[in-house]
Amino acid sequence: MSDVLTSIIEGVLEDLERRTIPLVQLQAQLRDAGPLRGAKLALGGSGMKIISEVKRASPSKGDLSAITDPIGLALTYEEAGASVVSVLTEERRFKGSIKDFTDVRSAVSIPMLRKDFIVTEYQVIESRVLGADLLLLIVAGLTQSQYVDFHQMAYELGMDVLVEIHNQEELERAMAASPSIIGVNSRNLKTLDVSPAAFHELLPMIPAGIIRVAESGISERAEVEMVQELGADAILVGETLVKAGNAREAISRLLGL
């Protein structure tokens, strides 16, 4: 199978070439960027937290939900007890958009994660202008210098960073930037295979004091209890919620409320 992650990043870079706002102009817009909401604080403390995702499609499952009202869905997440709302902005494989993000940002009061494949300085700055409280950096999709530079840039701009890893080597790379939030993705983004073994191996290896997020493949309460026993502080859930029919009940079920 071809490397899915590489293919996605190639598409992201092609789409970036069509951005109409020059980098210099984008940097100027930072002066007017509003206050952020503190994603790290929202994900800290006792009890399992949930990052609930507005997600229309995925490379592994295709179309998941039309989501004609992303604002309404995000507000339901917030009312149901989500700590952070994640919104996909990648267009080709996930059918997300920047408009989805800004629409939801204007409606909810909890922190927001910009879920995309961040591979350029432009996207880091763009994320802050859009109001992202939390930025995703996927170690597997970045060189080490890119990862460290983008991580530092995000913090200097006031954003928190969710650093995504898939194996021990990526965890070791991730630690070079002194991260405060690490997500273990049980889905291999190169093959799209899901294996809970990643949770068992990696969650206990993340040093104390770092917020641990379990990503992908979580649909049942028993799975939430399992990752919590392994040390997870939060779960990131998209497919299960958008296909549930009743997102409020799905969140309550996952969190055992």
**Each residue of 90-117: pLDDT tens digit?**
999 899 999 999 999 999 999 999 999 9
Q: How far apart are the first and last CA of the chain?
A: 41
pLDDT at 1: 33
Q: Cβ(142)–Cβ(150) under 8 Å?
A: yes
pLDDT at 142: 97
2 has pLDDT over 60: no
For residues 204-232, average pLDDT: 96
Q: Is 132 exposed, middle or buried (0-12, 13-18, 19+ CB in 10 A)?
A: buried
Catalytic center residues = 53, 55, 115, 164, 185, 215-216
User: Residue 50 — pLDDT band, cuts 50, 70, 90?
Assistant: very high
111: tokens are 């922190």
How is residue 229 annotated by DSSP?
H
Q: Percent of the chain beyond pLDDT 70?
A: 99
Q: Cβ(235)–Cβ(196) under 8 Å?
A: no
Instruction: Give dist(CA 8, CA 92) in Å, integer.
Output: 8
Q: Cβ(183)–Cβ(162) under 8 Å?
A: yes
pLDDT at 65: 87
Residues linked to residue 162 through DSSP beta bridges, in sequence order: 136
Q: Could you give the domains of the chain?
A: 4-30+39-255 (3.20.20.70)
pLDDT at 257: 86
Q: Which residue has the tokens 């950096």?
A: 137
Q: Cβ(184)–Cβ(215) under 8 Å?
A: yes
Q: What rounded mean pLDDT belongs to the chain?
A: 94
